[in-house]
Structure 1
Amino acid sequence: MSKWYNEAVFYHIYPLGLTGAPKENRDGGVCHRMEELFPWIEHIRELGGTAIYIGPLFESTSHGYDTKDYRIVDKRLGDNEDFKKFVRLAHEAGIRVVVDGVFNHTGREFFAFRDIQQNREGSRCCSWYKGVNFGWNTPYNDGFGYEAWRNCFELVNLNLWNQEVRDYLLDVIRFWIQEFDIDGIRLDCADCLDFEFMKQMRQVTAQEKEDFWLMGEVIHGDYARWANDEMLHSVTNYELHKGLYSGHNDHNYFEIAHTIRREFDENGGIYKGRTLYSFVDNHDVDRIMSKLNNKEHVYPVYTLLYTLPGIPSVYYGSEWGIEGKKQGANDDGMRPRLELAEMEMKNEHPELTAHIKALGELRKGNEVLADGKYRELLLTNRQYAFARILGDRAVIVAVNNDESPASMSIPMPVSADICTDVFTGETLKAEGGRLNIELDACGSKIVTAS
């Protein structure tokens, strides 16, 4: 039987942006903006979401990833009691909650860094960070240097080879599980984290909560190095993310199909048996509607997101087709303030919202889409069909990126004569081991066969 996370449909919230929190955390007072998020839980449930990834939440100085205090919810969002209530309401709605774990670096206001500033060579925390050197300096004129994440000196790289640092962070994780009853952690910059630390984390979290989920942000490389039985359960599938938009912009389904064949084909896929985290946009990349040359392609894009191997995730606001782009180093365009009632009232893409809702319902409890083997059935530049197969059951998916309707003759992956369109209920008859499907321009169709 699948674990909850392999069957999940995620909804991703960047809370500092969604609630319109100030860019700098300076006034010192608690502002209970998190209460705004409580009605979103019902919206997420109606959308078919079964899990929320929300973060960053740790008390921080600015964008949320420059941690000041790991045990306090950012005061711009509320207090610990607010987040406890958020998790409780989500659990009552049958929705799991996963938070950001920012363990590669801290901000400059974290106690260990402050101790080095104050006590210099005499600080007991000198070994908490990488590359601390009192013969160097920084753009902040600290009178000492240190290793910063991607030379962003507001982010000081922790020394995860130091067991004292590891123990501190593992205690933080225990605190979040025990205090808030969270169900998982998304590890920021997992491709920078020490492997032994992640192995210890897997052991500690499994002891605290048997079905606790660990997912890592990994952009490049062999995902199996991180997603395995010793370390993380899953990582971000950036390779598929790229293919989902460029495969449509270039009218080139070969790109998407090649990625999936390489990753998940039932005969030799390098990540076969693993479940990666799939997305079309997030808080670090442009919105899918801003990336697509033809906005109508958003429909087959989401069909693929929900039916290809992986755990699908929707980024807050994209269910309404909003746009947003990175401006240089500024991420604000991808992290907007949104009000739920206003978005629902002024929805400019109700057909997209309905499509995503229908896909969410399809995924719910669907063992074939969660665990079924992947098999490619038909491929051209502009049409693509595949099946997810579990025993004698199959879900057959066909997509069309052409601006004209298309007819497809697809070989049946299982021995069945009758198929059912999952959205219309229409019965389709297979003849001679093949299924004939008519697709709208920029359309998709999903049928079941058993």
Structure 2
Amino acid sequence: MSEPDWVEHALWWQVYPLGFVGAHPADPAPGPEEHRLRRLVDWLDYAQELGASGLALGPVFASQTHGYDTTDHYRIDGRLGDDGDFDHLVAEAHGRGLRILLDGVFNHVGTDFPRYRDALAGGDRSWFRVRGDEFATFEGHGGLIALNHRAGEVVDYVVDVMCHWLDRGADGWRLDAAYAVPDRFWAQVLPRVRERHPQAWFVGEVIHGDYSARVRDSGFDSVTQYELWKAIWSSLNDANLHELDWALKRHNEFLDVFVPLTFIGNHDVTRIASKLDNPAHVEHALVVLLTTGGTPSIYAGDEVAYRGIKEERFGGDDAVRPEFGSPHEGVGEHGQQVFRAHQHLIGLRRRHPWLHTARTAPLQVTNEGYVYASRGGSDAGDTLVVALNVGDEPLPVALTEFGFESGDVVAGSGAPPAERIVETTVPPHGWLVIAPS
């Protein structure tokens, strides 16, 4: 594994800045004189209160609409502010021990990207993929013009852009639509960036396919773990925890090669509180996220049970990318309860850093009940037993059946007992985390 040492302790709070500060969609759009990016500084203490160790930002570079149609990779989007606002955010975050992850769109550009405008007017077209007289687009989106990743100048350009912002204080890059870019391109780019920034972290957005092969062939430190995300909400909704067990076995195989970026929500999917049929199961999803191997990411708003459904239409992302006011504003008691659950489970994870690379082993699996052990490396004490119940009946758990003498309940729904236990029951639609002995 090539990832920097600091990533073992990383837990991201992901923010989509253009939506978060009300810059998109907005009519009229704010100008740089409003310095809206600085609004994120008001949330840094909140991110710390949550337990995050870093801020994973969506696009912040000059673009035409939603940020993924970049027009200038060297300039902060005017709707957010300017370079000074970015520098201020980085300084304030680093001053609190929070790292910054940037979102880099290097598969395609917007139609106002200067080199594309020149090419369209009859100039050099070597930066772009062309088919006859047509410029290739990303997944049929006419406003997203595909770059030519065979071109040496494009390789040089991406290296320079990535180093430029790492020089200014960023700690790593999420590489958007990395699955659409040839692995050989990343294999040319990333070693050159690492020469100058050996402590930077690089995660590719990959949805389907062979994750391990993509990591090996591209040189990524990590990729997005969409397989586990799907299995979490699907198994909870269907009361089919065999699906989750299968996905965690696959997850173990990935961990032999790299540590995936894990999540139960992000800016591209329906929020977990809306995705799950039973609101009580939001905590179950969070338990899986924070007791299994990976580098976890919490999408801003999910920690207070925000709802929002992604739709496949123009503006279909808006509901999951809302504007935010001030911390805890408008959050009801249920949202506060979900926030406290996040704090508690994040704290549990931070106290057990071995969970970053932990492998899981099933101890008891039925449709509605799942008990698994998360284990660290060589230390026998690096073990947690996790019990999930999505059924209407209590789930009995006897530690002796799993080879343990007893254990302490360290987290759980309801009011778990404080004393050491040998056996217990998980309440209907409840969960427990036990430190065995």
Is 1:3 matched up with 2:2? no
Q: Describe how 1:55-74 pairs up with structure 2 within 5 A.
A: 55-74=58-77
Alpha-carbon separation, structure 2, partners of 1:263 and 1:151: 32
In structure 1, the partner of 2:206 is 218
Alpha-carbon separation, structure 2, partners of 1:43 and 1:28: 25
In structure 2, the partner of 1:349 is 335
Change (3 A) 1:417 1:411: closer
In structure 2, the partner of 1:428 is 420
Q: Describe how 1:38-437 pairs up with structure 2 within 5 A.
A: 38-118=41-121, 120=122, 123-124=123-124, 126-131=125-130, 133-134=132-133, 145-179=134-168, 181-228=169-216, 231-264=219-252, 269=253, 271-329=255-313, 330-341=316-327, 343=329, 346=332, 348-390=334-376, 391-393=379-381, 394-410=383-399, 417-423=405-411, 426-430=418-422, 436-437=423-424
SS in structure 1 of the partner of residue 130 of structure 2: coil
Alpha-carbon separation, structure 2, partners of 1:132 and 1:2: 40
In structure 1, the partner of 2:435 is 448
- Percent identity of paired positions between Structure 1 and Structure 2: 32
CA shift, 1:151, in A, is 0.9
Aligned residues: 425
CA shift, 1:99, in A, is 0.7
Q: Is the 8 A contact 2:399 2:407 kept in 1?
A: no
Alpha-carbon separation, structure 2, partners of 1:236 and 1:230: 14
- Give unmatched runs, 5+ long, in structure 2: none
CA shift, 1:51, in A, is 1.8
Change (3 A) 1:111 1:28: farther
**Which whole-Å deviations, capped at 9, do the CAs of 1:90-138 have from their partners, x for residues lacking one?**
11111111010100000011111011123x1xx13x110001543xxxx
Alpha-carbon separation, structure 1, partners of 2:234 and 2:24: 35
Q: Is the 8 A contact 2:270 2:309 kept in 1?
A: yes
Q: Is the 8 A contact 2:229 2:263 kept in 1?
A: yes
CA shift, 1:220, in A, is 0.5
Code of the residue aligned with 1:381 in structure 2: it is N
Change (3 A) 1:445 1:107: same
RMSD after superposition: 2.2
Change (3 A) 1:254 1:73: same
Change (3 A) 1:272 1:413: farther
Alpha-carbon separation, structure 1, partners of 2:28 and 2:9: 41
Q: Is the 8 A contact 2:262 2:296 kept in 1?
A: yes
In structure 2, the partner of 1:12 is 14
Alpha-carbon separation, structure 1, partners of 2:159 and 2:148: 14
Q: Is the 8 A contact 2:284 2:431 kept in 1?
A: yes
Alpha-carbon separation, structure 1, partners of 2:190 and 2:271: 32
**Which whole-Å deviations, capped at 9, do the CAs of 1:162-198 have from their partners, x for residues lacking one?**
011110111011101112x111100100101121221
Alpha-carbon separation, structure 2, partners of 1:410 and 1:51: 36
Alpha-carbon separation, structure 2, partners of 1:294 and 1:281: 16
CA shift, 1:243, in A, is 0.9
Alpha-carbon separation, structure 1, partners of 2:337 and 2:384: 23
CA shift, 1:375, in A, is 1.7
Code of the residue aligned with 1:171 in structure 2: it is D
Alpha-carbon separation, structure 1, partners of 2:137 and 2:13: 31
In structure 2, the partner of 1:142 is none
Change (3 A) 1:293 1:403: same
Code of the residue aligned with 1:364 in structure 2: it is R
Q: Is the 8 A contact 2:174 2:204 kept in 1?
A: yes
Code of the residue aligned with 2:109 in structure 1: it is T
**What's the TM-score, normalizing by structure 2?**
0.92
Code of the residue aligned with 1:253 in structure 2: it is L
Alpha-carbon separation, structure 2, partners of 1:365 and 1:255: 29
Q: Is the 8 A contact 1:25 1:60 kept in 2?
A: no
Code of the residue aligned with 1:321 in structure 2: it is A
**What's the TM-score, normalizing by structure 1?**
0.89
Q: Is the 8 A contact 1:320 1:347 kept in 2?
A: no
SS in structure 2 of the partner of residue 165 of structure 1: helix
Code of the residue aligned with 1:276 in structure 2: it is P
**Which whole-Å deviations, capped at 9, do the CAs of 1:254-295 have from their partners, x for residues lacking one?**
00011111231xxxx354242111111111110111111111
